[in-house]
């Protein structure tokens, strides 16, 4: 890990640069896949599945027999763990429900807001070297609480043409309506345009690699909404002498093992803590099963020393981490002053892994600095706010003149007439 001491503010953007390609670098490839799937449907999906996933599928859709087989392959202890996580996620997201907002803005003018579910949603669940079945809980639980009618799940098949049994088990447990064996760009394109097998959806959720992230962004050009541009995982830890170096190192490595394009950063007001964490990272890395992947991410990562908490929080807000862990004596300062972060973990006994699995918060979060303007997935992500109004005779008399004057000032005579006719009818 690269060590940096008291970086000049003018250099922060370069120091905090993510190890990812830009949209422009890969958009042309993504658009090619999109165009072919739009015109050829399942045929193009299967062609790209063979090219990217190295498997020739007979069918895209997962059948009931595969789901039943998957149930038998899951250990009961894991089933119990999944149920615990599901329960906590349900509790936290159910608590996010809000009542109808209603007010009479003027006598006779009643306005209110109600929320409605997005009817059709698509979930992208990464497979590959780490089948993220936990993401299914994070997305299907709020989708069901919101009342979404159709939940389509896409996940890449392995070389045998199967989806990991834990993904199938969690999807079935959580009420997914259709499961498709398709990953990457072709999955996002399939849910964008619809094919003979893959339904089109109104909004796409879920993390993925850089190609999936760009594909989701491209989907918005074709009338499909997305949760956020959620790309390679990242973590920033702020730690002082009150932190436990072995805990900090374990948190950094927990994100580094996601992928070689992940990034982890330690910001510290203690040079001694930085040195201890560096030693612990090397020690723990040596015995990790995913050592090679974690090493790739660690090579992109940094240990940054700053003089005080004030400079640290400015640097952190400039970076806008997906995950932010606070292991510092002055934790309230960081809680009160952080403005850009996807999810915050506080104290030595709050590992980022807890949010990934079972504490109840959602782990689908904005990456690549998008925490500056995006929220993580929550109950409202699966809903739309609709406004309503009802105006009485007295109400239109109370606000009619103002509407006429404003419409006339903007040169919109028909707008004015719509009010004038009503006012004249009441004379």
Q: How far is CA 232 from CA 46, 209, 365, in A?
A: 25, 6, 11
- Consecutive H or E run containing 150: strand 150-155
Whole-number Å distance between alpha carbons of 363 and 353 = 9
Contact predicate 111/397, CB 8 Å? no
The two structure tokens encoding residue 190: 């399939």
Is 169 known to sit in a ligand binding site? Answer: no
Spatial CA neighbour of 116 closest among 93, 80, 146, 137: 146
- CB half-sphere exposure, 363, CA atoms < 13 A: 29
Residues sharing a CB contact under 8 Å with residue 29, sequence separation 6 or more, in sequence order: 185, 211
Rounded Cα gap, residues 360 and 256, in angstroms: 23
323 included as an active-site residue? yes
- 378 appears as a binding residue in the annotation: no
DSSP structure class, residue 382 = G
Q: How far is CA 88 from CA 133, 355, 399, in A?
A: 16, 11, 48
Q: Give the residues across from 383 on adjacent strands.
A: 117
Helix axes 245-256, 291-298, angle to 10 degrees: 100
Q: Is 424 annotated as a binding residue?
A: no
End-to-end CA, the chain: 79
Q: Is 114 a catalytic residue?
A: no
363 is in an annotated binding site: no
Give the Cα-Cα-Cα angle 372, 7, 238 (nearest 5 degrees): 55
* 164 labelled ligand-binding: no
Q: Looking at 252-407, which runs of residues are DSSP E strands?
A: 263-268, 302-305, 323-327, 343-346, 383-391
DSSP state of 17: -
CA dist., res. 245 & res. 249, Å (int): 6
Residue 209 marked ligand-binding: yes
Q: What share of the chain is helix, strand, coil (3-state, %, to 5)?
A: 50, 15, 35
Active-site entry in 323, 331, 352, 363: 323
Tell me how far apart the alpha carbons of residues 332 and 329 are, in angstroms, rounded to a whole number.
Answer: 8
186 labelled binding-site residue: yes
> Active site residue: 322, 331, 352, 363, which one?
322
The reply to whether 323 sits in an annotated binding site is: yes
Burial 71-83 (b: 16+ CB within 10 A, else e): eeebeeeeeeebe
Which residues carry a binding-site annotation for Zn(2+)? Answer: 255, 258, 356, 415
Which residues carry a binding-site annotation for NAD(+)? Answer: 124, 186, 209
Active-site positions? 322-323
Which residues carry a binding-site annotation for substrate? Answer: 233, 255, 258, 323, 356, 410, 415
Which residues carry a binding-site annotation? Answer: 124, 186, 209, 233, 255, 258, 323, 356, 410, 415
């Amino acid at each position: 890990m690269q060590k940096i001491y008291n970086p000049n503010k003018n250099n922060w953007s370069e120091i905090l640069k993510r190890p990812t390609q830009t949209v422009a670098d890969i958009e042309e490839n993504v658009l090619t896949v999109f165009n072919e799937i739009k015109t050829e449907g399942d045929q193009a999906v299967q062609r790209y599945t063979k090219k990217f996933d190295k498997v020739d599928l007979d069918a895209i859709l997962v059948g009931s027999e595969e789901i039943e087989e998957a149930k038998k392959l899951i250990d009961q202890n894991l089933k119990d763990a999944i149920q615990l996580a599901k329960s906590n996620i349900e509790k936290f997201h159910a608590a996010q429900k809000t009542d109808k907002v209603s007010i009479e803005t003027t006598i006779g003018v009643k306005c209110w807001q109600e929320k409605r579910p997005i009817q059709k949603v698509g979930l992208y669940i990464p497979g590959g070297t780490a089948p993220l079945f936990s993401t299914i809980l994070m997305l299907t639980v709020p989708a069901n609480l919101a009342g979404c009618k159709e939940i389509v799940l896409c996940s890449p098949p392995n070389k045998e043409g199967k989806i990991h049994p834990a993904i199938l088990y969690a999807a079935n447990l959580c009420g997914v309506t259709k499961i498709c064996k398709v990953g990457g760009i072709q999955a996002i394109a399939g849910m964008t345009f619809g094919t003979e097998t893959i339904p089109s959806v109104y909004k796409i959720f879920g993390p993925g690699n850089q190609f999936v992230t760009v594909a989701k962004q491209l989907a918005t050009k074709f009338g499909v909404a997305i949760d956020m541009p959620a790309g390679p995982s990242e973590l920033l830890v702020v730690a002082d002498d009150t932190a436990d170096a072995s805990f900090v190192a374990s948190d950094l490595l927990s994100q580094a093992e996601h992928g070689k394009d992940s990034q982890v950063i330690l910001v510290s007001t203690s040079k001694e803590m930085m040195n201890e964490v560096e030693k612990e990272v090397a020690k723990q890395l040596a015995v990790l099963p995913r050592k090679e992947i974690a090493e790739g991410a660690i090579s992109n990562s940094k240990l940054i020393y700053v003089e005080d908490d004030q400079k640290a929080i400015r640097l952190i807000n400039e970076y806008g981490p997906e995950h932010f862990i606070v292991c510092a004596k002055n934790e309230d300062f960081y809680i009160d002053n952080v403005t850009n972060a996807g999810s915050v973990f506080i104290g030595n006994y709050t590992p980022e892994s807890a949010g990934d699995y079972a504490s109840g918060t959602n782990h689908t979060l904005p990456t690549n600095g998008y925490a500056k303007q995006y929220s993580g997935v929550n109950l409202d992500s699966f809903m739309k706010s609709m406004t309503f109004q009802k105006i009485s005779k007295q109400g239109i008399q109370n606000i009619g003149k103002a509407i006429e004057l404003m419409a006339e000032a903007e040169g919109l005579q028909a707008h004015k007439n719509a009010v004038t006719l009503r006012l004249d009818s009441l004379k």
